[in-house]
Amino acid sequence: MTRGQIVLITNDAVYTTTEFNGDMFYDYYGKEVIEGLKSVESYDDYFDFANKFNSENFEYPEQIVYQIGELETDKDIERMKILFDMSNNYFENWGSDYLYIKNISTKNWDFVLRDGDWDITLKPGEICSLNFGRLAKDYDGNNRIEKHIKEDIVDDIESLGWTVREYDDFIEISRYSPAGEDLTETLDYKSPLYEQLDDLYKYFDPDQHAAEWYGQGRGEPNDLQTLLDDAKSIEEMYRELRNKLWKR
């Protein structure tokens, strides 16, 4: 049975529903939950929607909505930050297969995700869907690239001379080497970026790269030493990129 909870963040508190036990993945009840949350603008909206959802689909007799934390003091906020760290004690804190979360507060809320998934920032009015503390891959919505590849990361890549192009499922980075080789790399935003960059650096062999290009007649320099020096420069470019974004 696929379980799920519906979570609301307001300026004053955080609420969740009881754990609905059955078919809470996106392609079943999840679609209904997302559509319902789109219209939630207040706690009363949330309360009414959660109880209506229960009466139509589960008919649990007990209380459906619970407050899990206030947001009145700095201590309250820090406690919620710990709760929103999905990488730490997820099953003790949440446990459900799916969490459908809407932020109707006036501030951004950061979530630390599990297993190397990019941390996300849920802005006011946005909805996200998490599956065991990771971004749910069966729901797009606000689960988009800007939540994974943060603006400061794109800025860091561009600060090293790379051009960044963003797509729905990946980013493409490109740069010319000193000898004019057009370097283009594709990075899957659903996988940890630093691991991809680390592999790019670790598995680049300058000698092999120069040998592969030598004598190909595709506009590369004809001098082997120039190609070797250029390949070492490319290796350094990859190293700088990996180090700049290490563990990001």
Amino acid 34: pLDDT: 95
50: region left, alpha or beta (phi > 0 left; psi from -120 to 50 alpha): alpha
Q: Please tell me the pTM assigned to this model.
A: 0.63
**What span, in angstroms and rounded, lies between the C-alpha atoms of 140 and 129?**
9
Same domain, 88 and 165: no
CB 94 within 8 A of CB 4: no
**What span, in angstroms and rounded, lies between the C-alpha atoms of 212 and 193?**
27
Copy the structure tokens of residue 157: 């890549």
CB 15 within 8 A of CB 110: no
Same domain, 134 and 157: no
Which of 144, 161, 190 marks a domain boundary?
144
**What span, in angstroms and rounded, lies between the C-alpha atoms of 74 and 27?**
38
Same domain, 127 and 185: no
Same domain, 75 and 159: no
Same domain, 60 and 178: no
Amino acid 1: pLDDT: 80
Same domain, 120 and 185: no
Which of 144, 172, 195 marks a domain boundary?
144
Q: How many folded domains does the chain comprise?
A: 2
Which of 144, 167, 201 marks a domain boundary?
144
The 10 Å CB-count burial string (b at 16+, else e) for 43-75 is: bebbbebbeebbeebeeeeeebbeeebebeeee
pLDDT in tens, 18-73: 999 999 999 999 999 999 999 999 999 999 999 999 999 999 998 999 999 999 99
Domain that holds residue 181: 151-244
Same domain, 11 and 125: yes
Looking at per-residue pLDDT, the higher value among 77 and 151 belongs to 77
